[in-house]
Amino acid sequence: MTEDEKEFRNTRGWTRPASAALGGALAGFAALATAELVSAAVRPQSGPVVVVGGAAIDRTPAAVKDWAIRNFGTDDKLFLQLGVLFVLAVFAIALGMAALRFRRTAAVGVLLFGAVGAVAAISRPDSNGLSDALPSIAGAIVGAVLLLFLAGRLALRGPASEGETTAPESGPASGPPAGQGWDRRGFVVAATAAAVASTGAGVLGRALNGSSGRDAVASRDEAVLPAPVSAAPALPRGVRLRIPGISSFTTPNDDFYRVDTALVVPKVNARTWRLSIHGKGVRRPLSLSYDDLLRRELIERDITLTCVSNEVGGPYVGNARWIGVRLSELLSECGVLPPSRGGPADQLVARSVDGMTIGSPVEDVMDGRDALLALGMNGEPLPFAHGFPVRMVVPGLYGYVSACKWIEDIELTTFDDYDPYWVKRDWARRAPIKTQSRIDTPKPFARPQAGPVMVAGVAWAQHRGIDKVEVRVDDGPWQEARLAAEDTRDTWRQWSLAWQAPKGGHTLTVRATDRTGRVQTERRARTIPDGASGWHSVVVTVD
Ligand SMILES: Nc1nc2c(c(=O)[nH]1)N[C@H]1C(S)=C(S)[C@@H](COP(=O)(O)O)O[C@H]1N2
Ligand SMILES: [Mo]
């Protein structure tokens, strides 16, 4: 190959555009790594992927969100973040290619991405103001400078480079020998250095962000829940059916479903946490510390929590033993009266440290049910993912209208005056839990042997109680299932039916009847606006 041919390859081949693409990707990577490191100094929730992802969550139409939860389950957040990263990577590569010709414009493009991140950061509901914009801004500046520099190495120089920008601002004088070409060595060195430095910054930022909740972790580790004055009664005998594959009566914390909008689980320091209660009809506003709550009379209750996004047969339901303060007691101390006794507020809006708002009917919270400000879950302080230090739990209401995690503020208001987060997104203002039942075993498309097969599962109608569960095989008659003993009417109930399974394909269907005598409706409803309805069926093939 002649020198001329080499030069031709050097300028016209694929390596230059490929390097440009790589340069763009590196600039994007450096920007994110810088942002990660700076967010460790500001706070983990201020990173660009988190804030842009959070803004995307808030703007996602309910139907799409529903779809995402259905398809990705609790991994929906991971997929969202990967999606944000993918979009960023595509744009970074495009900007890198554009920088071959329009170096300054491409750098400005990087800065624009930073601006998007900065605006998203400032407009998060839990934003700390301008400081939250720092990670995005710092990242964008580093990314833009790196892109300028790398594109400088790629600029063609020398007399024969007409038609391409000769880019006088490019690079140091110690570039390549004069002549047609670009600074390959300079590019490789700079790109390698940038990759190494960015990886270092990213890893360090990750590590710092990971440990940033140290104070919060320490405050949870040292928290000791006093014995409740009113302990939950021992579980009645016969609450648990010993059937393989059935949901355990008490859901262990690690298996408890999680549904929230938080891309980063808030780590709240209980030592500095406070809860305020204020608003309409609050004659004596309160501000409480974690210790204030621990010093109060605590009660312990088994309560089954359910998500309104749970499909018929879905997994977003769990039962735990909660320890907490009676919410109605605190409200009464503040002088709050329920609407039925003339109180002016009919909606209690709980606000979390991450800006979630959840509205519950004041009437329900004060009607004598065990509405809790919960501190403990299954014998330990709340796990961070489930709301440490304090969350609400109200028997009989879906989580999105009752179970605010990481709560820090309670405002008494009216349904007319204020729409909380999910209501703004077309979910119902009021949402009592619908009677539901689920077949846990056999699993869909199972192939049991002909003969005795245990059909079993759970049924729930919190605060009304379950009185009957029936199972139907194909189009046969409804057969009454055996019901496990009831713990309380606020908890789910296990059930089972011994089935003599004949060979062939069969559809098993379940329905429950609650204590008001109402049979679970067959009418199919979507989750939005106020919870799914319909009967759960499982198709099996008996061999
Ligand atoms: N701060 C906050 N609290 C929240 C939510 C949320 O997104 N943010 N989601 C609610 C919903 S929709 C449900 S079903 C329950 C779920 O509680 P869990 O994750 O502990 O099971 O929390 C509720 N509390
Ligand atoms: Mo929910």
Cis link prior to 266 (omega < 30° from 0)? no
Angle between helices 134-154 and 15-42 (to 10 degrees): 160
Q: How far is the CA of 359 from the centre of ligand 1 (A)?
A: 12
pLDDT on residue 166: 43
Residues of the chain with CATH 2.60.40.650: 436-542
Minimal-distance CA residue to ligand 1 atom 12:
400
Long-range contacts of 222-226 (CB under 8 A, 24+ apart): 223/270, 223/290, 223/294, 223/375, 223/381, 223/389, 225/294, 225/298, 225/323, 225/375, 225/376, 225/380, 225/381, 226/294, 226/298
Which atom of ligand 1 is nearest to 407's Cα? 1
pLDDT on residue 168: 44
pLDDT on residue 282: 98
Contact assessment for residue 510 and residue 438, using Cβ atoms and an 8 Å cutoff: yes
Residue 422 Cβ < 6 Å to ligand 1: no
pLDDT on residue 7: 58
Ligand in nearest proximity to the CA of 257: 1
Q: How far is the CA of 156 from the centre of ligand 1 (A)?
A: 56
Minimal-distance CA residue to ligand 1 atom 8:
260
Which atom of ligand 1 is nearest to 387's Cα? 20
Within 10 Å of residue 458's Cβ, how many Cβ atoms? 27
pLDDT on residue 457: 98
Which atom of ligand 1 is nearest to 398's Cα? 14
Structure tokens at 469: 């569960």
Minimal-distance CA residue to ligand 1 atom 2:
405
pTM above 0.85, yes or no: yes
pLDDT on residue 51: 87
Ligand in nearest proximity to the CA of 403: 1
pLDDT on residue 44: 84
What SS3 state is found at 280?
coil
Q: How far is the CA of 150 from the centre of ligand 2 (A)?
A: 48
For 454-491, the pLDDT digits (tens) are 999 999 999 999 999 999 999 999 999 999 999 999 99
Residues of the chain with CATH 3.90.420.10: 253-425
pLDDT on residue 3: 60
Q: Which CATH number fits domain 436-542: 2.60.40.650, 3.30.9.10, 1.20.810.10, 2.60.40.10?
A: 2.60.40.650
Rounded Cα gap, residues 69 and 85, in angstroms: 19
pLDDT on residue 420: 97
Separation in Å, CA 375 to CA 257, 322, 392: 18, 7, 9
Q: Select from 486, 491, 313 the least CA-distant residue to 396.
A: 491
Which atom of ligand 1 is nearest to 353's Cα? 1
For 403-439, the pLDDT digits (tens) are 999 999 999 999 999 999 999 989 999 999 999 999 9
Q: What is the CATH code for 253-425?
A: 3.90.420.10
What does pLDDT average to in each consecutive run of 10 residues of the chain (543 residues)?
58 84 95 93 86 85 71 75 90 94 93 93 88 94 95 79 43 48 91 96 88 88 96 95 97 95 91 97 98 98 97 96 98 98 98 96 98 98 98 98 98 98 94 98 97 98 98 98 98 98 98 98 96 98 97
DSSP state of 541: E
Q: How far is the CA of 141 from the centre of ligand 1 (A)?
A: 37
Which atom of ligand 1 is nearest to 352's Cα? 1
pLDDT on residue 175: 45
Question: What is the chain's length?
Answer: 543
Question: HSE (CB half, 13 Å, CA atoms) of 436?
Answer: 33
